[in-house]
Structure 1
Amino acid sequence: MPISRIAIGNASEFGQSDALKAALAEFISMLIFVFAGEGSGMAFNKLTNNGSTTPAGLVAASLAHALALFVAVSVGANISGGHVNPAVTFGAFVGGHISLLRSVLYWIAQLLGSVVACLLLKFSTGGLETSAFALSSGVGAWNAVVFEIVMTFGLVYTVYATAVDPKRGDIGIIAPIAIGFIVGANILAGGAFDGASMNPAVSFGPAVVSWTWDNHWVYWLGPFVGAAIAAIVYEIFFIDQNTHEQLPTTDY
C-alpha cells in the first residue's frame, strides 16, 4: 500500500539548498503559469467587453492554460519536478515520492507564486480585477466538488503515468505536453460549471487579491481528494511494489 511509504521528512530539509532551490523553482513556475492563465482571461475580458464566459472565452482559457502549464512544468522539471500544483504535490506525497516537509515548502512557494502573479497582473493592468473562481448558476458546491475530484484525478493520473511511473521510459517532453493537454481539455469540460481549477494555488491567488472567498473550500477539497485517489489507484495497480523507490527530484 502506498500509504505505508508516506514520509514526514526531517526538519533540516527546510535549510537544505536543493530543497530551497526546488521551492524557488515551484514559485517561479507557478508565477509563470498564473500570470499567463489569469492574464489571458483578463485580456479577453478587456478585448471583448467581459466575454471570458463565452464559448470563445472558454476556448481561449483552455489554450492559454495548456500552453502555460506545458512551459511551467518543463522549466521546473529538472529542479523541483515541475509540480506547479499543490494537489500534484499532495498526490506525490500520498504515493511516497516526496516527504511531508518538502511538500509544505512546495505548497508555500506555489501559493506565494500565485499571489505574486495576481498582484503583478493587477498592477500592470492599472487595477483590473483578478477574478476569483466561482460556481456557475445552478451548480451547487458539492456538484463542483465532484467536478474538481474527477478533473484532478485525470490530471494526477496523467502525471503518474507520464512522469512518476519508473516504467515510463525515456519519454522526455511528452510528460509536460500530456499534463498541459489534460488541463486544457478539463477546462473545456468543466470551465462553464465551476471554472475548472484542479489547482488550489491557481484559485488562491485571485481569491487573495480580490478578497473573494465564496465556496473557496471547493477548490481545495476537490483537487486534494482527486489527487489522493489517483495516487492510490496508480500505486496499487500499476507500479511494481517490489521495485518502488523514492524518485530523485531530478526525475520528478
Structure 2
Amino acid sequence: MPGFPFNIWSRIRSWFVAPDAHRSRLTKLISRVSVEFTACMMFHFIGSISPTPWANGIALTVLVYYTAKISGAHLNPAVTLTFCLLGHTHPIDALMYWVAQVTGCAAGALWIAGLVPGLNMRNAPSGEFQALSGCFTPAAALTPFQVFAWETVSTTCFIVPIFSVVWYTQHKNGYGNSGPLIVGLSLAANALACGRFTGASLNPARSLASPIVFQCPYPVYLYVVGELLGGILATLAVVPWYGISRSAWYRVPSFFFGWTMKNQRSIKLQTISEVDSVVQTRVQLPSTISASDICDEASAPSSPRLASIQEV
C-alpha cells in the first residue's frame, strides 16, 4: 500500500491541527484528555519536588493558562465532578478526564522515581524523600475523621472560588485573563491554611498517584473520599448563585431550583431595564417603547412600533 505510514501520520496530525469546527467529538475529546494528562503529569512532578504552597500555586496558575482554552483546565477529579454535577461536563467526558488526571499524576510520580536519587519504588519513602515523593503525611495527633474532614472542607474552599472566577471571567467585563491567577492563589491559600494538618492534597488524582508508584504510609481512602465529597459540597454552594448550565446533560427539575431560576429572571429583567435607560438616552426612543419590546417584536418587521423607531 503506497504511502501507508505517511497517510497514518497525516490522519493523526489532522486530529490535532484541523479547525475546531471540522473536528469530530472524538478528536476533540482526545485533545482535551491528552492536555489534561500532560498538565497533571507536570503539576504532580513540580508540586512534589517543591512541596510548598506557593510553588504549587504558581505551578497551577501556569498550567491553567496552558490548558484553559483546550480542556477547561480541570486538572483535578474533584473539579471535574463539580462541573459534571452542574451540567457543564458530560459524564463520559468526566470519566475520561478522571482517567487522564490519575494516570498523568502517576506518570509524574514515575518521573520523580527516575530523577531523584535515593527513591525506591519498592520501599516506603521516609524523611525528606517522603515529601519529594508526593506522599502526604497527616499530623500525628489527628484522628481519621479529622483527616477526612480537613480534606473535605479545604477542597470545598478551594473549588468554590474556581467556579466563581470562571463564571465572572466568562460573563462579566473587566476581569480579563485573571482567572488562572485566582485559581493558583486559591490553592496556595488553602494549602497554607491546612497544609500543616494533612499536607493539603486537595486533589484525588495526586492523592492516588504517589501510592500507585510508592508505598506511601497514609490512608489514601480518607483523602480521596474527602476530596470528592468536597467537590459535591462545592456544587451545592455555587448552585444557588450561578445555577445549572442551560445545556446540561440531564433534565433539571424546575421545582427544586425554583429560587435559582427566579434569581436568574430578576437578573435578566435588571439587565433589560439597564438597556432601556441606555437606549432611551442615546437613540431617543419614544417613552412608550422599551428595549424588551424591541426584543419581543424583532421578528415582526411590519410592526408599527418598529416603524416608529425607524422614523426616529
Q: TM-score, normalised by structure 1?
A: 0.78
The one of 87, 92, 103 aligned to 1:101: 92
1:131 CA displacement: 4.3
What secondary structure is seen at the aligned counterpart in 2 of 1:78? helix
Query: After the TM superposition, which of the residue ranges 132-141 and 82-91 deviates more from structure 2?
Result: 132-141
Percent identity over paired residues:
26
1:176 aligns with 2:186: no
- Partner in structure 2 of residue 150 of structure 1: 153
Gaps of 5+ in 2: 1-23, 120-128, 250-312
Letter in 1 for 2:152: I
Residues 160 and 231 in structure 1, CA contact (< 8 A), matched pair in contact too: no
1:120 CA displacement: 0.7
Letter in 1 for 2:42: I
Higher relative contact order (CA 8 A, sep 6+): 1
User: 2: CA distance between counterparts of 1:86 and 1:21?
Assistant: 18
Residues 63 and 184 in structure 1, CA contact (< 8 A), matched pair in contact too: yes
User: 1: CA distance between counterparts of 2:176 and 2:145?
Assistant: 37
Letter in 1 for 2:45: F
1:67 aligns with 2:70: no
Query: After the TM superposition, which of the residue ranges 119-128 and 134-143 deviates more from structure 2?
Result: 119-128
User: 1: CA distance between counterparts of 2:196 and 2:101?
Assistant: 25
Query: After the TM superposition, which of the residue ranges 139-148 and 210-219 deviates more from structure 2?
Result: 210-219
- Partner in structure 2 of residue 22 of structure 1: 32
What secondary structure is seen at the aligned counterpart in 1 of 2:220? coil
1:159 aligns with 2:169: no
Alignment CA distance shift 1:133-1:164 (3 Å): same
Residues 86 and 106 in structure 1, CA contact (< 8 A), matched pair in contact too: yes
Larger Rg: 2
Q: For residues 72-91 of structure 1, give each alpha carbon's deviation from its aligned partner in whole angstroms, at most 9, with x where no partner exists.
A: 11111011000010100011
The one of 232, 238, 246 aligned to 1:244: 246
User: 2: CA distance between counterparts of 1:246 and 1:164?
Assistant: 16
1:214 CA displacement: 3.0
Aligned residue pairs total 213
Residues 86 and 248 in structure 2, CA contact (< 8 A), matched pair in contact too: no
Query: After the TM superposition, which of the residue ranges 223-232 and 79-88 deviates more from structure 2?
Result: 223-232
Q: For residues 155-188 of structure 1, give each alpha carbon's deviation from its aligned partner in whole angstroms, at most 9, with x where no partner exists.
A: 2111110114653446342111111111111111
Alignment of 1:221-236 (within 5 A): 221-235=225-239
1:240 CA displacement: 4.8
- Partner in structure 2 of residue 120 of structure 1: 111
